[in-house]
Homo-oligomer: A and B are copies of this chain.
């Protein structure tokens, strides 16, 4: 890339703003109580505080809650690298639930592994944080598609 550092910084900050706007449009994230904790090029972190409304039958976080924030974290990690005016859809993902998702909050990290013109692959990690301890509770892989010249619309 021969872009100057200022130009890169401009398009970067636009990309991060695009993620924040899109996240704010997701009714489900608000309903679950999920928050964007960090947005950087190719990497997004979403945090979800424990509530009884998020549980499965044993009182742990439900795999559906774990997956929802993992999917959004990966999708937005991809979106940070997409060209202006584009949007993102999840094609598919796979997630292994490695340990009971038990703790004060979950932290989902989506990281771009490979970003192509049409398809992007992400890794998804979800940690449960209890006191100061972090445990990897889920690990996933996701395929995204970039819809060019097709911004979010409701």
Map CB proximity to B onto A124-154 as digits: 1 under 8 Å, 0 otherwise: 0000000000001001110101000000111
Which A residues, 59 to 92, have Cβ-Cβ distances below 8 Å to chain B?
59, 62-65, 67-69, 71-72, 87, 89-92
Known: A97-B91, A98-B113, A139-B123. A63 touches B56 (CB 8 A): no
Q: Is the CB of A141 within 8 A of B94?
A: yes
Total copies of this chain within the assembly? 4
A25-B57, A27-B53, A56-B28 given; A64·B62 CB < 8 A: no
Flag whether A7 is at the interface (Cβ < 8 A).
no
Chain B proximity mask over A23-35: 1 for CB below 8 Å, otherwise 0: 1011111111000
Q: A27-B62, A92-B94 are in contact. Are A145 and B118 (CB under 8 A)?
A: yes
Taking the complex as formed, is A58 at the interface, i.e. its CB lies under 8 A from any CB of chain B?
Answer: yes
Contacts of A99 in B (CB 8 A): 114
Docked pose: A53 CA to B31 CA in angstroms = 6
A121 near B93 with CB under 8 A, answer no
A102 at the interface (CB under 8 A from B): no
Return the chain B residue nearest A23 by Cβ: B57
Nearest chain B residue, comparing its CB with the CB of A94: B94
* A95 interfacial by beta-carbon distance below 8 Å: yes
In the complex, how many angstroms separate the beta carbon of A34 from the nearest chain B beta carbon? 9
Instruction: Please give the residue numbers on chain A whose beta carbons come within 8 Å of chain B beta carbons, in ascending order.
Output: 22-23, 25-32, 51-59, 62-65, 67-69, 71-72, 87, 89-99, 113-114, 118-119, 121, 123, 136, 139-141, 143, 145, 152-154
